[in-house]
């Protein structure tokens, strides 16, 4: 029996059969006959021995400690882990594990909710087919008030339909130091093949992007296994979260500064073309940024003014206008928006940096845009920075993977993530 386990926890389900040999005397009986002959082949096989860690009765276990089950003299056939209540096996709170190829070691995939008692039930089988079950319980350390990692916000939100360029953006309420462990706790699963990786844009902001645009018409699930991950010294996540969204049709808009037109493609086929007017480029601020933008929000009946940039009302360049339809594509104030008063659409670039459109064109674009639709602008000498809006496609895929804390891309059709969420407590 393994040390640290209660005798009540070890229950053998195997039955050992003892075979008696009956000899019918027809003459003299030897001493060997009386002893039952050669009994070497009738020795029972050793039972499988299962060892669970953390050990039975342990308390204040670090929540990022992995649960392990090992087997000697046999293999592991089943392991279940339950907390105060048994989680749905398909939920983000289910404690799953990975079994080694030789089926002698099982390791939990994710970290554990702080301040919780867990029960591990493991079943093994000996070479002779005997089964043994071991039950062990332990409790985890409670997260300290004021040192708890919590999810502040995520974009997109669940049950949203998004464009093919949509990243996953997560905001935490506490600065993360152990970035690789937190990345490894964020599991992205898609119905169609994709390679993706996470990048940090501050100690609290984490962004997932794929190598290529998402394939359209599929469901994406993000399981944030944050409960128990150590985000900083003594700082633990306290709750898991699941985000589910749908990638819709593929719509990509292309704008060339040289010809002042925008084409809209769906599924690779052009569906619309609009005359537009880009920034006049007389100053850096009045130059439209080139690069791959994403649609960030849709607005109607709103005011636009460069007074927010410090331009005084008596300046000849000052403007304060009412806009019927607009779609934001950067944090620096760039929109595709209606501007019926611009009589040079398709002929000249005269705006203050936005993409001016007709009322009808802006209405169509507003009504037919999903968040995360790519808008690719070319021809200007002002490049969209990666941190401006959702400019994450501005970073090359090689640099994106290199900027991941785990340094490796994730296959989103496979379970798990690169790296380990267990941090310094991994075995």
Q: Of the listed 225, 241, 354, 422, which one is catalytic?
A: 354
Instruction: Give me the residues paired with residue 266 across strands.
Output: 251, 269
Query: For residues 81 and 161, is the Cβ–Cβ distance under 8 A?
Result: no
Taking the CA of residue 425 as centre, how many other CA atoms within 13 Å lie in the half-sphere pointing to its CB? 25
CB neighbours of 208 closer than 8 A, spacing ≥ 6? 167, 168, 169, 170, 186, 188, 196, 197, 198, 222
Query: Is there a catalytic annotation at residue 352?
Result: no
Of 220, 252, 248, the closest CA to residue 163 belongs to: 248
337 annotated active-site? yes
The residues that bridge with 134 in the sheet, in sequence order, are: 10, 122
Comparing CA positions, the residue from 105, 121, 231 lying closest to residue 170 is: 231
Q: Residues of 412-425 as b/e, b for ≥16 C-beta within 10 angstroms?
A: beeeebbbbbbbeb
User: One of 241, 337, 352, 422 is an active-site residue; which one?
Assistant: 337
Residues annotated as catalytic are 337, 354
């Amino acid at each position: 029996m393994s040390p640290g386990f209660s005798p009540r926890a070890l229950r053998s389900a195997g039955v050992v059969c003892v075979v008696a040999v009956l000899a019918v005397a027809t003459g003299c009986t030897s001493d060997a006959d009386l002893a039952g002959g050669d009994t070497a082949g009738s020795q029972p096989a050793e039972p499988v021995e299962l060892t669970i860690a953390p050990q039975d009765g342990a308390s204040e276990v670090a929540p990022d400690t992995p649960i392990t089950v090992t087997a000697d003299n046999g293999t592991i056939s089943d392991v279940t882990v339950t907390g105060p209540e048994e989680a749905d096996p398909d939920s983000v709170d289910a404690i799953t594990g990975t079994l080694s190829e030789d089926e002698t070691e099982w390791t939990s995939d994710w970290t554990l909710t702080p301040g919780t008692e867990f029960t591990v039930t493991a079943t093994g089988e000996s070479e002779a087919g005997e089964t043994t079950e071991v039950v062990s319980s332990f409790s985890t350390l409670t997260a300290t008030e004021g040192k708890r990692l919590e999810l502040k916000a995520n974009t997109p939100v669940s049950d949203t339909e998004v464009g093919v360029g949509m990243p996953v953006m997560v905001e935490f309420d506490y600065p993360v130091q152990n970035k690789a462990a937190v990345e490894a706790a964020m599991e992205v699963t898609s119905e169609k093949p994709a390679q993706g990786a996470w990048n940090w844009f501050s100690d609290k902001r984490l962004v997932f992007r794929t190598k290529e645009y998402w394939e359209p018409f599929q469901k994406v699930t993000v399981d944030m296994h944050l409960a128990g991950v150590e985000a900083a010294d003594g700082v633990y996540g306290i709750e898991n979260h699941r985000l589910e969204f749908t990638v819709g049709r593929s719509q990509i808009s292309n704008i060339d500064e040289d010809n002042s037109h925008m084409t809209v493609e769906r599924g690779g086929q052009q569906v619309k073309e609009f005359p537009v007017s880009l920034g006049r480029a007389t100053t850096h601020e009045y130059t439209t940024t080139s690069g791959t933008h994403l649609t960030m929000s849709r607005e109607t009946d709103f005011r636009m003014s460069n007074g927010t940039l410090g331009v005084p009302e008596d300046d000849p360049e000052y403007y304060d206008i009412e806009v019927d339809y607009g779609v934001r594509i950067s944090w620096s104030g760039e929109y595709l928006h209606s501007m019926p008063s611009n009589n040079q659409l398709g002929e000249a670039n005269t705006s203050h940096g936005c993409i001016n459109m007709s009322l009808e064109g802006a209405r169509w674009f507003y009504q037919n845009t999903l968040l995360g639709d790519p808008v690719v602008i070319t021809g200007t000498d002002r490049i969209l920075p990666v941190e401006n809006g959702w400019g994450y496609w501005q970073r090359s895929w090689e640099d994106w993977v290199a900027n991941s804390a785990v340094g490796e891309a994730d296959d989103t059709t496979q379970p798990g993530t690169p790296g380990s969420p267990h941090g310094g407590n991994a075995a």
